[in-house]
Amino acid sequence: MNVQFRSSADASVVAKTAIADCDIHPARRSMKDLYPYLAKRWHDHLETYGGHAYQGMMVGPPYPKAQPNASRRDAYPPEGGVQGSSLSFMQQQHLDPNNVALGVLNPLNTGQGLRNQELSAALATAINDWQIAEWTSKDSRLKGSVVVANEDGEASAAEIRKRAGDKNFVQVLLLSRNVEPLGQRRYWPIYEAAQEAGLPIGVHAFGFGGNPITASGWPSYYIEEMVGHSQCQQTALASIVLEGVLERFPKLKMIMIEAGFGWAPSLAWRLDRVWQRLRSEVPHVRRPPSEYIKDHIWWTTQPMEDPERRDHLFQTIDWIGWDKLLFATDYPHWDYDEPSRVLPAGVSDANRAAFYLGNARELYGIT
């Protein structure tokens, strides 16, 4: 991660190798950007009552971020608005100089994790229309994520079916933290519809479901929330495997986004060991858990694991598979990974090509 203060002047140099960026965050200038895609009823509702989330703050996150909007200070568009809210500046600062051939949009603060389910569903539809109108229709390198009202399985499935076959979208977006662990039955209609539509499920770190971010209650600091996302992701993935989601939906592919990948081997080993002892409790889990993970799960790279010794990184990736990693920058967030610096020397050309572009093209079916 690099806290960026780079002047946009050196954006004139274009990287030679094309990349996929599997985690880009387009932002709204304000909620009003969504009004063209929302019924009038909801404009009034939002202005009167706000979002009514599973957390206490009316505005802003419970743990103040390290930088405004958790974004790079050099990413404010010259025409105004928050970081990530201008397509032309995103093109100029990121997509063009970094030679991004495929950019996957993951809109956050969208209405996922709201307690009012009707509002959540209306906002999900609006944000999907907004992605097409403001982003994917204007730059063919960008692909959207189908945002769904995650706590309402039926509404989510309807939204996925509505977008099925629409080439503007390459995945369904869920967040890791929900009212219940992601393997629970209430979320199965989402998986069923995604499998039917041939769309992978991206599970991005973050979200609110009302559960403390540790199993011992709420910690004190932003760093604990940031590190804690990887523990949330581990538990959510364990739930998906142990509830038999990947047995029930055998064609489903899932992507763990922005939660790290270094923990994947140890989690898989632990699951396998414990499953050997306790499999009579979960007879629907027919294979060792590590096999489901190996067959169904992909990982985005940012924030890239960064051990002192690069051989430790390479050994960890060998355990996961070079074919399962998807490069991501997290633009415009502050903990952005710089494409040219993220992978140490010593990687074969084939692995490097897969890591930066090939795996994403294959998974998302973008040639």
Partner 1 sequence: MTSPIAGGVDCDLHPALPHLTSLLPYLNDYWRDQVTTRGMTDLESQSYPPNSPISARPDWRPAKGKPGANLHDLTTQALDPFGTSIGICNPLYGLQMVFSEDMADAFCRALNDWLVKEWLDKDARLRGSIVIPVQSVEKSVAEIERCARDSRFVQVLMLVMGDMPLGKRAYWPIYAAAERHGLPIGVHAGSNYHNPPSSVGWGSYHIEDYVAQAQAFQTQLTSLIVEGVFAKYPRLKMVMLESGFTWLPSYVWRLHKFWRGVRMETPWVDRAPMEIVRSNIRFSLQPVDAPPDPGTLNRLFDHMQSDELLLFSTDYPHWQFDGNAVLPDGLSPELVRKIMIDNPYATYTRLGGAGSKESAA
Least distance to partner 1, CB of residue 188, Å: 13
Rule CB under 8 A: say whether 75 interacts with partner 1: no
Residue nearer to partner 1 on the CB measure, 120 or 234:
234
C-alpha dihedral sign at 128, 111, 87, 36 = positive
3-state secondary structure of 116: coil
User: Which segments within the chain are labelled E, that is strand?
Assistant: 19-24, 100-105, 142-147, 169-175, 201-204, 254-257, 297-300, 325-326
* CA distance linking residue 84 with residue 97, whole number of Å: 16
Give the footprint of partner 1 on residues 184-203 (CB under 8 A).
184
Rule CB under 8 A: say whether 247 interacts with partner 1: no
Residue nearer to partner 1 on the CB measure, 116 or 211:
211
3-state secondary structure of 137: coil
Rule CB under 8 A: say whether 208 interacts with partner 1: no
Rule CB under 8 A: say whether 66 interacts with partner 1: yes
**179 closest CA partner among 115, 94, 227:** 115
Q: Which two tokens stand for residue 96?
A: 């063009």
User: Do the Cβ atoms of 194 and 201 come closer than 8 Å?
Assistant: yes
Residue nearer to partner 1 on the CB measure, 77 or 339:
339
Q: Work out which of 214, 248, 251, 295 binds partner 1, going by CB under 8 A.
A: 214
Per-residue interface string for the shown chain with partner 1, residues 317-356, x marking contact by CB under 8 A? --x--------------xx---------------------
* CA distance linking residue 4 with residue 73, whole number of Å: 7
Least distance to partner 1, CB of residue 70, Å: 11
Rule CB under 8 A: say whether 176 interacts with partner 1: yes
Placement of tokens 């055998």 in the chain: 250
Least distance to partner 1, CB of residue 247, Å: 14
Least distance to partner 1, CB of residue 218, Å: 8
Instruction: Judge residue 55's burial from the number of C-beta atoms within 10 Å of its C-beta, 0-12 exposed, 13-18 middle, 19 or more buried.
Output: exposed
Least distance to partner 1, CB of residue 275, Å: 7
Rule CB under 8 A: say whether 180 interacts with partner 1: yes
* CA distance linking residue 65 with residue 365, whole number of Å: 35
Rule CB under 8 A: say whether 21 interacts with partner 1: no
Rule CB under 8 A: say whether 71 interacts with partner 1: no
Q: Which two tokens stand for residue 193?
A: 């519809």
Rule CB under 8 A: say whether 178 interacts with partner 1: yes
How many residues of this chain bind partner 1 (CB under 8 A)? 69
Stretch that binds partner 1, among 101-109, 260-268, 324-332, 339-347 (CB under 8 A): 260-268
Residue nearer to partner 1 on the CB measure, 1 or 164:
1
Least distance to partner 1, CB of residue 267, Å: 7
CA distances from 325 to 20, 65, 294 (A): 11, 27, 12
What letter would DSSP give residue 305? P
DSSP codes, 179-244: SS-TTSGGGHHHHHHHHHHT-PEEEES----SS-SSTT---S-HHHHHHHHHHHHHHHHHHHHHTT
Rule CB under 8 A: say whether 271 interacts with partner 1: yes
Neighbours of 32 (CB within 10 A): 12
Nearest 10 degrees: CA dihedral of 56, 59, 62, 65? Answer: 180
Least distance to partner 1, CB of residue 261, Å: 8
Q: Which residues contact 13 (CB under 8 A, 6 or more apart)?
A: 97
Stretch that binds partner 1, among 18-26, 105-113, 137-145, 222-230 (CB under 8 A): 222-230
Residue nearer to partner 1 on the CB measure, 109 or 316:
316
Residue nearer to partner 1 on the CB measure, 49 or 218:
218
Give the footprint of partner 1 on residues 103-162 (CB under 8 A).
none
Contact set with partner 1 (CB under 8 A): 1, 3, 66, 176-184, 209, 211-224, 226-228, 230-232, 234-236, 238-239, 242-243, 260, 262-263, 265-267, 269-275, 277-278, 280-282, 303, 305-308, 312, 315-316, 319, 334-335
